[in-house]
Structure 1
Amino acid sequence: MNGAEHNAGVTWYEQDERYLAAHYQPGLLLDLLLTRNISSHKVLRGTGLFYDDILAGSSRLSVRQLRQLISNGEKISASGDLSFRWGQLLWPGHYGLPSQLLQHAGCLDQALTVLGQYRRQLSPLLVPRVFTDRDYCYVQWLDACGLGEQKRFMVETAMTALSSYSRWQSRQPLPWEYGFSYAQPRTYEQYRTHLGGTLYFDLGVDVMRIPKAWLHEPWPQASATAFRVAARHLHYEPPQPGSGFSEAVYQHLLQHIQQPLSLAETAEHFGMSSATFKRKLQRHDTHFQHLQDQVRLHASLYCLHILGWSNEQLAQYLQFNDLTNFRRAFRRWCGRTPGESRQLFLQI
C-alpha cells in the first residue's frame, strides 16, 4: 500500500492508492451512466479502467480514479441528480459482511456504529462522525482523502444514502435535517426532491441531525441472529487502515487543538520532512493551513452551538490572546462572526 505507518500505529490510505473495489460503489455509479446508452469507453475515459476490468470483479481503483469517473458522470448527466440517484443505491449494498451488518441492523444507533467501524468499505470517501447532545444525534461528513471539486457531489451522495437507507429500514421517512458547508447551489430543487426535510446552507460544516428518540426505534426487518453471525465473521478478518491521509492529519490536529502544532511538528509526527509533507497534502488537494482552519472551525461550531460556550470560553480554549483576534480568525474561517453564526443557528 502507499500509506505509511506512524510509530504509534497510525495508518492511512492515500488518494492514489488503489483500494476501492471497482465493482462495488463505483460499479453502481457506472451502471447509472450506462443506462443512458452511453459508451462505457466515454464514461471511463481518463480513469485507466475498461468495463471488462470491472466485470472481472477483482479490479481496484483509487480515489483519484473515482473522482475522474464522477467528473465524467457530471458532464454526461446534465440533470444534476446523479449524486442523489447514486446515494439511493449505496446502502446496504453488496459489499460483503459490512453490508450484511447494515442490512440486519436493529436500529439507527446500531447502523451508525457499523458505518463508523467499517467505513473504509461502506463510506471510504467521507467520514461519518457521530455525536449527540441532549436532544439530537448529529452525523458530520468529513473529507477523508482529498475530494477537491468532487466534495459537494459526495456530500450529496452520502446524505442521500443515509436518508434512503434509514427510510428503507424503518419503513417510513425519518425527520432528518441537513446542513451544508457551502452556499445554496443552482441544483437546489434536487435537494428538495431527493432529501426533503429542512435544508440549511453556508453553515461551515456538512452535517445531518435527527432527534435522539429515533436512535433506538426498532427496525422491523432486522435479524439479530444474522447480525451477530456477520459480526463474528468480521471479527476474524485482518484490520485495515481506517483513515485517509487528509483525515489522519485532521484528527492529529484535532487531538492537539489546545497546543497548536506547526507544519514542521506535524510533518515529524507523520515521519516526513516538511517539504515532503507539503507535497503530499497538495496531492490530496489541500494544504496545512486549510486543515488547521477546518479543525478550529468545526471545534468552534461544536462548542458554540452544541455545548453553548461563550466567546470568552472558546477563545481561551483555542489559545487566543484576546477576543478581537478570535473574532477575526472565526470570520476568516467561515465568513461571519461568532455572533452572526449564533443568530444563524438560532433559526435552525
Structure 2
Amino acid sequence: MKGYERYDEVLDAQQLLLSLIDLARQRGAHPDKLLKGTKLFSSDLSKKNLAKNGLTCSANTLLTVIENCSKLVQGNEISFLLGKRYFPSQLGLLGQALMNCRHLGDMLRLCQCFQLDCFPLMNLQLKHYNKNSYLIFQSAVGKLTKNQQVFITEFMLSALLGAIKYRCGVLPQLTMHLDYPEVQHIEQYHVHLNMKANVNLHFDQQICMFTIASEQLYLPFNDSAMSLKTIALEQISQIDTRPYPISFIQQITNYLNQEILEKDDLSQEGCAQHFGYSSATLKRKLASHQLNYQGIIDAIRSQQAIFQLIVCQHSNEKIAGDLYFNDVSNFRKAFKRWTGMTPNTMREQHCFN
C-alpha cells in the first residue's frame, strides 16, 4: 500500500491549513503572504471553491505556510491555539471515534492508524519500559526547518495534552523532552501546556518525547461508547478510499527498525526491492524529502541508542550488539558523530528515571 509523500496532495485543507491561515489572519497576516510559495491564493480557499472542489493540499504546502507564519506573525502562540482547537472538532468522524476509545492507549493506537488524518506531519512511536510509557515524535515528511520543527512540536503537544485533559478531566503527571534549545517565547509553554500543574519540561535534549506512567494510559473511560466508535470507523471506511494510511518516510522507518531489530539486510538495494523500487528510484524519492538512505539509518540507530542509554540504562556493549555494530569502539565513534558526545558523557548528563 502506498505511503503519502511530501508533495502528494492528500491532506484535507480544511483540517489544518484553513485553521492556521484564519488564526494568522486574525493577527494581521495577509492570507496571500502566508500562501507565498504554495501556488495557492486566498481566493482558492473561499467557501464557494471549497464546497465545489473539496480542496486538498500537500504536506509541503502546509510546511510552507507554517514557515511563512513563523516569520510573519508575532507572539508565537498560534501553534498552541491550533492544537487546542484540533481535538475533537477538527477531526469529524474520527474525532467521534477518538472520543469513544476505551482509554488513552486506545486513542494513541487510533492516531497511529489514521496518521494522515490526525498528525500528517509527524510520526508517533510508543515505547514501554518498566512502569513508564514513552511517546516519541519524529518527522513523517522528511527534513524540517527549525521554525517548522518547533511549530509542529508545539502544535502536537498542545493537541495531545488538550485531548488527554479533555478525556481524563485532569492532566496526569507528564515529562516532556524537546530536541531543540529553550525558546524565547517560553511563557507560551507555561500558559498553554499547564507546566505549573503536572507537566515537567526539558529543552535541548537528544530526543523528542513525553513520558507518562503506563497505568495512566490504560485507565478506562467510563463514559466511552464502543458502539459509537465502531459506527464512526465504519462510516470512515465507506467514504475514505485513499490508499495513504501512513507516510512513505514512516514506511521506510518501520522497515529499517525491523531490519535492525532482526539484524537483517540493511542495504539500500534490499530496501528498494522490498518496496518494489529500483535503488535509483528510492534514492530519488528520499532526496525529494531532503533525506538520504544512510542518514535515515543513522537517525534510527541514534534514536534507539539514546533511548536505550538514558531510559533503559543499558551498557555500551549491549547497545552496540543490538544496533548491528561489530564492536563497542565503532559504536562509541558513531555515537559521538551522531550526538557530539560520547555515550558515557550523555549517560552522566541525562537521567530519565
What is the CA distance between 1:23 and its match in structure 2? 0.9
CA contact (8 A) 1:108 1:166 kept: yes
* Runs of 5+ unmatched residues, structure 2: none
Q: Which residue is equivalent to 1:214? A: 216
Paired with 2:337 and 2:258, the residues of 1 have a C-alpha distance of 22
**What amino acid is aligned across from residue 228 of structure 1 in structure 2?**
T
Matches of 2:115 and 2:93 in 1, distance apart? 12
Normalising to structure 1: TM-score of the pair? 0.89
The yes-or-no answer on 1:328 pairing with 2:333 is: yes
Q: 2:256 aligns with which of 253, 277, 299?
A: 253
In structure 1, C-alpha distance between the alignment counterparts of 2:223 and 2:349, rounded to whole Å? 39
The answer to whether the 8 Å contact 2:165/2:171 transfers is yes
- State how far apart, in whole Å, the 2-side matches of 1:238 and 1:16 are: 19
Work out whether residues 67 and 147 of structure 1, in 8 Å CA contact, stay in contact via their aligned partners in 2. no
Show the counterpart of 2:184. 186
**1:125-140 to 2 correspondence within 5 Å?**
125-140=121-136
Q: Give distance in 1, aligned partners of 2:245 and 2:309.
A: 29
The alpha-carbon deviation at position 53 of structure 1 amounts to 3.0
Aligned twin of 1:173: 171
What does the per-residue CA deviation read over 1:216-250, in whole Å, with 9 as the maximum and x for residues that have no partner?
33446534442232134345554632232222222
- Corresponding position: 1:116 with 2:88: no
Q: Deviations over 1:256-288 (max 9, x none)?
A: 112362334333433334443333212102222
Offset of 1:69 from its aligned partner? 0.8
TM-score by length of 2: 0.87
> Which residue is 1:201 aligned to?
203
Which amino acid in 2 is paired with 1:153?
F
Percent pairwise identity: 28
Question: Structure 2: which amino acid aligns with 1:200?
Answer: H
State the shift of 1:50 in Å.
3.0
- What is aligned with 1:4? none
CA distance in 2, matches of 1:219, 1:270: 40
Deviations 1:119-146 (A, max 9, x none): 2111111111122222112111121112
Q: Does 1:65 align with 2:61?
A: yes
Q: Residue 315 of structure 1 contacts residue 323 of structure 1 at CA under 8 Å; is this kept in 2?
A: yes
Separation (CA, whole Å) in 2 of partners of 1:109 and 1:133: 15
Cα root mean square deviation, aligned: 2.3
Shift of 1:62: 0.5
Contact 1:180 1:203 survives alignment (8 Å): yes
Tell me, in whole angstroms, the C-alpha distance in 2 between the residues paired with 1:242 and 1:106. 22
Q: State the partner residue of 1:262.
A: 267
Q: How far does residue 109 in structure 1 lie from its aligned partner after superposition?
A: 1.7
Corresponding residue for residue 41 of structure 1: 32
* 1:175-195 Cα deviation digits (max 9, x unpaired): 221112223333333333322
- Rounded Cα–Cα distance in structure 2 between residues aligned with 1:153 and 1:329: 30
The answer (yes or no) to whether the contact 2:311–2:352 under 8 Å persists in 1 is: no
State the Cα deviation string for residues 156-183 of structure 1 (Å, max 9, x = none).
Answer: 2111210111112222123221112223
Q: 1:75 aligns with which of 65, 71, 78?
A: 71
Secondary structure class of the residue paired with 1:181: coil
Q: How many residues align?
A: 339
Displacement, 1:18? 0.2
Aligned equivalents of 1:318, 1:22: Cα separation in 2: 40
Residue 289 (str. 1) matches residue 294 (str. 2): yes
What secondary structure is seen at the aligned counterpart in 2 of 1:151?
helix
In structure 2, relative to structure 1, the CA distance for the partners of 1:247 and 1:347 (3 Å cut) is closer
Provide the C-alpha distance between the structure 2 equivalents of 1:199 and 1:129, rounded to a whole number of angstroms.
Answer: 19
Query: Contact 1:105–1:227 (CA<8 Å) still a contact in 2?
Result: yes
Tell me, in whole angstroms, the C-alpha distance in 1 between the residues paired with 2:270 and 2:229. 43
1:243 partner SS: coil
Q: Give the match for residue 26 of structure 1.
A: 17
The 1:76/1:220 distance shift into structure 2, 3 A limit, reads farther
Q: Deviations over 1:196-216 (max 9, x none)?
A: 221123332211111122113
Find the counterpart in structure 1 of residue 321 from structure 2.
316
Q: 1:37 to 1:188 in 2, by over 3 A?
A: closer
CA distance in 2, matches of 1:331, 1:264: 28
Distance 2:294 2:71 in 1: 31
Residue ranges of structure 1 left out of the alignment (5+ in a row): 1-9
Alpha carbons of structure 1 residues 104 and 53: separation in structure 2 relative to 1, 3 Å: farther
